[in-house]
Structure 1
């Protein structure tokens, strides 16, 4: 076994299985939604008093940011996702595999970013299907990939406040 292979096995890159799991689950759920639900808010399925399933397209980023533009944003967001994915994968390669917190956070973001990039490249939009609301206020529709990205980002922010062990 080469020294480089051993180093990769000991690095955070081992956690990329979680990114793959998020990606596969996200794409699988989106395919089920696209093939089994009618498009739009009028076809939503009420699941709980504060939660619906639905099928909508998002041509923008988070909260439909830039969704009204003419299409250039699709490639901007794709490029950003590739850059972030490369950067996080590099950081994972520098972390030991036993550093679970940050490796999990990075893997969640990578899996979510790749899931949404897949949609942008294949469909030209991101498929959203989760609708959370309170009364008449509806949070913007989102998906598993968005959730993974948000959880990973929150973990990175929380890590800044975690007490680190003293280095000898």
Structure 2
């Protein structure tokens, strides 16, 4: 692998590292500023909260008796390995790798919570009147944006 190829890989991994750092830092701030379940209303549609998600996206399997912690940790580890391989293999495909890097950073951020705490800290809470979107965090946001970029990339014409 040439020096240029290594720089490309480090660039994508750098994006992932920034996502992980922002995710862990914002979760740390929420833990320090809010008691569990506490909410601070900012607008008529947005609150900061301190929730724990023991399941996956939207709380899926949150009540599975604890096995979900290790199941989702295992899924995350497999995803991290596959994504790292794909970044290395496709390191020159910018949009594809940015999407992968965002998903990778989000997966690592949530994996850290899941392994160290047993749950993921969520704190961004959007709603309309009494209809609430499930709370989420920076890692979840990065994963969603990353998946969106991967979908966008899939519509590109082949070279």
Q: How many residues align?
A: 159
Q: List structure 1 runs of 4+ shifted beyond 2 angstroms.
A: 4-8, 10-14
Q: Deviations over 1:8-66 (max 9, x none)?
A: 415445310000000011001101100111211xx210111110000010000000000
Contact 1:78 1:117 in 2 (8 A): yes
Quote the offset at 1:163 in angstroms: 2.9
Say which of 116, 122, 126 aligns to 1:132: 126
- The normalised TM-score by structure 2 is 0.94
- SS of 2:136's equivalent in the other structure is coil
Contact 1:13 1:93 in 2 (8 A): no
> 1:23 aligned to 2:20?
yes
- SS of 2:134's equivalent in the other structure is coil
Quote the offset at 1:6 in angstroms: 2.4
Which segments of 5 or more consecutive residues in structure 2 lack a partner in the other structure?
Answer: none
Say which of 49, 59, 62 aligns to 1:64: 59
C-alpha RMSD of matched pairs (Å): 1.4
Report which of the two structures shows the higher radius of gyration computed on alpha carbons.
1
Alignment of 1:149-164 (within 5 A): 149-164=143-158
Contact 2:5 2:91 in 1 (8 A): no
Which segments of 5 or more consecutive residues in structure 1 lack a partner in the other structure?
Answer: none
- The normalised TM-score by structure 1 is 0.89
Q: Deviations over 1:101-154 (max 9, x none)?
A: 111100100000000000011111000000000111000010000010011111
